Amino acid sequence: MSFGFPWGLLALGALVPLVAAYFLRRRQKPVVVSALFLWRTPRPRAEAGPRWERFTREASLLLEALAVIAAALYLSDVRLGEAARTKHLVLVVDGSLSMSARGPDGVTVLELARREAAKRVEDEAATRVTVLATGLSPRVVAGPEAEPSRALAALESFQSRGADHDPMPTLLWAQELAGAGKHVAFFTDAAPVEGLVIPAPVRWTALGTARENVAFVSAQRKDDGGTATVTLRVARFGAGPESVSVRLRALPGPDAKQGTERVEKVALQGEGSATVRLTFQNAGDVEVSLPDDALLEDGQARLTASPTRPLAVSLAQGLGPLERDALERFLAASPDVARDGAAGETLLMGPRGTDAKVTVGATGKVRTFVGPFFSEKGHPLLDDVQLAGVRWSAGENPPGHPLITAGDAVLVSEEDDGRLHLNVDLSRSNVQRVSAWPVLLGNVVRESRRAREGFVRRQLTLGEPLQLVTLPGKRYTLTGPSGGKPVFGAGAVSLPPPAMPGRYVLERDGADGVDAAEVLALDARESDLRGRGRADVPARESGDDEARANASDRARWPLVLLLLALVGDFYVTRRVS
Amino acid sequence: MSERLDEAAVGRLAPGLGLALPRGPHRGRVGEVRAASTGSALELHDFRAYQPGDDLRQLDWNAVARTDELILRVRQDEVSPRVEVVLDGSRSMALSPRKAACARELALLACEVGARQGLSPTLLATGVRSERVQGSACRAALRALEFDAKDDLVTALGRMPPPRSCGLRVVVSDFLFEADLPAMVARLSRGAAGVFLVQVLDAEDLAPTGGEGARLVDSESGAALEELLTEEVLAAYARRFVEHQRVLRAAALRSRGALLTAPATETLNALVMGPLRPLFVAGGRA
């Protein structure tokens, strides 16, 4: 048992007058009378019943003393058992990739932070520890208010591989968790920049070391047929080597018997960067690496094969010969387009009046326009569509939102469900013979490709948001290195940047992955280790870490005991009328 | 006003006093007072027909001559009635020395006056050891009497043998106990031509002093009651006392008796001249 506010025990002094009053009352002079019945109010209770009244005064004294003791215990903030001595320590660890950088002795900054955290916990004899990690999205590593051993164990398994970010939101959150007047320990690898306003209770401890570093700042792979083109950008931060060897190792692909390994020597001029582009045939995953330096993580990348998925396009029955020819001519020249694909969603093009995704044709009275044409500015379907010199013959206005108009005629419209109507009579128009035709259809194919289920981009670097497309009515789960989480929303969804690099798989309805994306541990700002160093900025306000006198944390049972004692005293001292 | 048995005061008062005997017929040994039974006194009581066994001397021969029937003269007997003094021996009678002395003096005065009146007094003391004495032994018994009974008069009477017939019964007590008062008074008046309830009360019984808290202890049972003697409490006591007296007085009247309240604070002479005047009449003989 301990007391958070021992001065509250002074309330026990109220026992002295209480007991004194009891004994003073007990010593009242006895007055012998001839008969008591003239003094006593007649009691309805049978005289042969229990003589509880005999003990009334003693019971009242005991209950009143109990009430005083309960009040003193509450005021003194009594704590029993585990709550007897509780000291909460909130630790914040920088979750950025640079914390994994090694110092001259080969020890990572994160390891130093772990040691310092354990030392703080031991020095301050904390009984409850909360560990937070900064990041684009702050997260709890241990706690809240976990046992110190569990918190330190969680910190031991924590990996800091996040993108560059602002730690302030995490520090403010830690301040809230610690409570008013309590200190927060923040471990990072760089001193605060000039002018940065650190929250008053935060002690900023920088454990980094300024190092030189050579890193990949970007790595991309493009698969075109059986050819994989790998583009790497290598940068040097600080006075490093003039040249660096880039090691590329291509694992064998499905049709290859063995892999390929190359070493490219890259010259680094000044503090600039150099670009390396290599191609591999029938390659599986390609592993690229730089020689070991201060930060290993930014010198390694695994580029998985991400072949482009061809868009299936089919032409519906009923198209006129002119329309069919014009569409066939475009599709024949369009890359990554598969005709009549069996799998996946198909882009159906058909005549006017059908439910095809894209309709071509005009009905009703046909009018020909040579301009001026009015286009909806900025619409992705109209990117680079130039209608100068075009003679456009259109019939009745199609339904939907107009995209291109001429006079009161709607030439191109789009419905809410994405269906596109090209109100054109190709027999009287020259649209299909000008550049606007393939550009317009190219935009249609591009948007259809973007609307396909899966990730918009399959190779990302740290700090880039995950953009993906989901189908309505389906349930998706995004599984990554830190576990899976559901994806809410239909259509184009933009998820916050992943906290960890690695492979992220989009799963639909708990089945196999629909698509996968690779987040590479590359961040130029994190690879620049020149500004790192050691610093210890104490908290600007002196906290009261010892006293945990928070009224809301006080034990409630003394109040209950006090209430019961008062009610009991009221009961035993009541007067029966 | 003595706190001890003042036999001298009793001796001074007794010669000039007499007990007020009731007008109804008495029972007792042969004496001078008209009895309830028929006897050989000169005073004619009634006539009736002769029945075998009757005293032939009581035949009214004139009436026999006139009516030719045997007519008997019925004459009332003349007896010497007894006086019985019952003294409550409970502890409450010794609430104060003056109360105890007053009770003893009144009992002794009744015995002395009765003896002078030829009423052969009998004293019944209801202490822990109940006593029944007669004649001159009453004085010695009163001297040695201890008010030590832990129960009230009703309970003490239950321990005693049934009361005998007597002419007058004088009961000296404070009558401050919870009981069926009409039944108690009826029992006390049973077999007696008249009964006087002499209620000896201390000053604290009549008007208790207050102003502070006290542990009220019952003088007989020892039971305690914590009470703040406020004006309200004292007023409640007064109300209950008046009600108690009313019930007691009504019970006495129903039993052809009388309740005489004797404050112990007054002298014996003042009591005889004042509240006890119905019992002690001046002149020496009733």
pLDDT digits (tens, 9 = 90+) for B119-175: 888 898 888 888 888 888 888 888 888 888 888 888 888 888 777 777 789 999 999
CA–CA separation, A519 and A504 (whole Å):
7
CA–CA separation, A497 and A467 (whole Å):
9
Q: Which residue from A28, A38, A41 is facing B214, i.e. has the nearest CB?
A: A28
Q: Is the pLDDT of residue A128 over 70?
A: yes
**Residues of A at the B interface, defined by Cβ within 8 angstroms:** 25, 28-41, 57
CA–CA separation, B142 and B87 (whole Å):
9
Q: Which residue from A25, A39, A57 is facing B216, i.e. has the nearest CB?
A: A39
- Nearest chain A residue (CA) to B240: A38
Contact at CB, B215 and A37, closer than 8 angstroms: no
Share of chain B above pLDDT 90, in %: 24
**pLDDT at residue A563 in the model:** 92
Q: Which residue from B95, B223, B244 is facing A38, i.e. has the nearest CB?
A: B244
Closest among A100, A98, A108 to A237, alpha carbons compared: A98
Average pLDDT along chain A: 83
- Do residues A467 and A492 make contact, with C-beta atoms less than 8 angstroms apart? yes
Is B52 buried (19+), middle (13-18) or exposed (0-12) by CB count in 10 A?
Answer: exposed
**Residues of B at the A interface, defined by Cβ within 8 angstroms:** 92, 95, 174, 176-178, 201-202, 204-205, 208, 212-221, 223-227, 233, 236-237, 240-241, 244
Contact at CB, B95 and A34, closer than 8 angstroms: yes
- Strands in A128-133's sheet, in edge-to-edge order, are A139-146, A128-133, A88-93, A184-188, A202-207, A534-537
Share of chain A above pLDDT 70, in %: 91
**pLDDT at residue A55 in the model:** 54
CA distance B121 to chain A (A): 28
**pLDDT at residue B199 in the model:** 94
Q: Is the pLDDT of residue A48 over 50?
A: no
Is A170 buried (19+), middle (13-18) or exposed (0-12) by CB count in 10 A?
Answer: buried
Contact at CB, B217 and A33, closer than 8 angstroms: yes
pLDDT digits (tens, 9 = 90+) for A466-502: 888 888 888 888 888 888 888 888 888 888 888 888 8
> A184: which 2 tokens?
């927060």
pLDDT digits (tens, 9 = 90+) for A272-306: 788 888 888 887 888 888 888 888 888 888 888 87
**Residue numbers in B near A57 (CB within 8 A):** 226
* Weakest mean pLDDT among A265-269, A359-363, B224-228: B224-228
pLDDT-derived band at A49 (thresholds 50, 70, 90) equals very low
CA–CA separation, A169 and A132 (whole Å):
11
pLDDT digits (tens, 9 = 90+) for A10-20: 888 988 888 88
* Weakest mean pLDDT among A60-74, A286-300, A506-520, A546-560: A546-560
Q: Is the pLDDT of residue B104 over 70?
A: yes
Q: Which residue from B177, B217, B220 is facing A31, i.e. has the nearest CB?
A: B217
Q: Is the pLDDT of residue A167 over 60?
A: yes
Within 8 A by CB and 6+ apart from B146, the residues are B89, B127, B128
- What's the count of helices (H) and strands (E) in chain B, helices before strands? 9, 12
Distances (CA, A) of A87 to A125, A126, A146, A336, B203: 7, 5, 11, 63, 73
**To probe the interface with B, which of A29, A33, A43 has the most B CB atoms within 10 Å?**
A33
Q: Work out the average pLDDT over B96-104.
A: 92
Q: Is the pLDDT of residue B248 over 90?
A: yes
**Residue numbers in B near A32 (CB within 8 A):** 95, 217-219
pLDDT digits (tens, 9 = 90+) for B168-190: 899 999 999 988 999 999 888 88
Contact at CB, B224 and A57, closer than 8 angstroms: no
Contact at CB, B216 and A57, closer than 8 angstroms: no
pLDDT digits (tens, 9 = 90+) for A212-256: 888 888 888 888 777 888 888 888 888 777 888 888 888 887 777
Task: Name the amino acid, one letter, at B266.
Answer: E
**pLDDT at residue B244 in the model:** 94
pLDDT digits (tens, 9 = 90+) for A63-100: 999 999 999 988 887 777 655 567 788 899 998 888 88
Q: Work out the average pLDDT over A181-207.
A: 86
| Full set of structural domains in chain A with CATH | 2-83+553-572 (no CATH), 87-210+531-547 (3.40.50.410), 213-308 (2.60.40.10), 311-450 (3.40.50.880), 454-520 (2.60.40)
Contact at CB, B176 and A35, closer than 8 angstroms: yes
> A311: which 2 tokens?
């868009």
Q: Please give, one letter per residue, the 3-state secondary structure of A99-147.
A: HHCECCCCCEHHHHHHHHHHHHHHHCCCCEEEEEECCCCCEEEEEEEEC
Contact at CB, B224 and A33, closer than 8 angstroms: no
Residue A293 dihedral angles phi and psi, to the nearest 5°: -145, -155
Contact at CB, B208 and A34, closer than 8 angstroms: no
pLDDT-derived band at B263 (thresholds 50, 70, 90) equals very high
- Nearest chain A residue (CA) to B233: A39
| Full set of structural domains in chain B with CATH | 7-26+81-282 (3.40.50), 31-79 (no CATH)
Strands annotated E in chain B: 17-19, 28-49, 71-81, 83-88, 121-126, 131-134, 166-173, 192-201, 213-218, 224-228, 257-263, 280-282
**pLDDT at residue B30 in the model:** 47
**Residue numbers in B near A25 (CB within 8 A):** 213, 226
pLDDT-derived band at A44 (thresholds 50, 70, 90) equals very low
Tally of CA atoms within 13 A in the half-sphere of B39 that contains its CB: 21
Q: Is the pLDDT of residue A513 over 90?
A: no
pLDDT digits (tens, 9 = 90+) for A314-366: 888 888 888 888 888 888 888 777 776 555 567 888 888 888 889 998 888 88
Q: Which residue from B216, B236, B240 is facing A33, i.e. has the nearest CB?
A: B216
